[in-house]
Amino acid sequence: MSLNLQRIAYYSLASQPEAALIMLAEILGVSDRNNVRDSLTGALLVSRGRFFQVLEGAAQDLDRTLARIAADPRHHSLNVVLRVDVNRRMFGQWGMVAARIAPSQQPEIDAIIDRCHDDPAAAIKAARDLLEHQIAA
């Protein structure tokens, strides 16, 4: 295990909010490939033109990934809401997993994203619980 394992979470806005869900498939494809290469794990929630992403990995890999994300024209107003050293990964072997948005899940995803500024640790746990439930279903 890496001695500099970290977890970060950020919030950003889609440059084209109406196309955020369409962008999701494109983002996931590239993110999954990059994250496997860089040994990053994490999750992404998207709702109403807002992104909330959690990433885990070595500090230098997270820095490189954040720089790439910040330069991506599909996002703006990127705000890192949490960055902490961790002893183990919360998102295990998930190279990148994203919440599927069904009408019944929209309020829960919105609540998680709304909460990420005030209580990022709770938002991360709620995102993990939601995604774990989806994967098990």
Question: For the chain, which domains are there?
Answer: 5-136 (3.30.70.100)
Per-residue pLDDT of the chain (137 residues; tens, 9 = 90+): 445 899 999 999 988 777 666 666 667 667 667 777 788 888 888 888 888 999 999 999 999 999 988 998 888 999 999 999 999 999 876 665 565 556 788 899 999 999 999 999 999 999 998 888 776 55
Sequence letter at residue 108: E
pLDDT of residue 92: 79
pLDDT of residue 20: 61
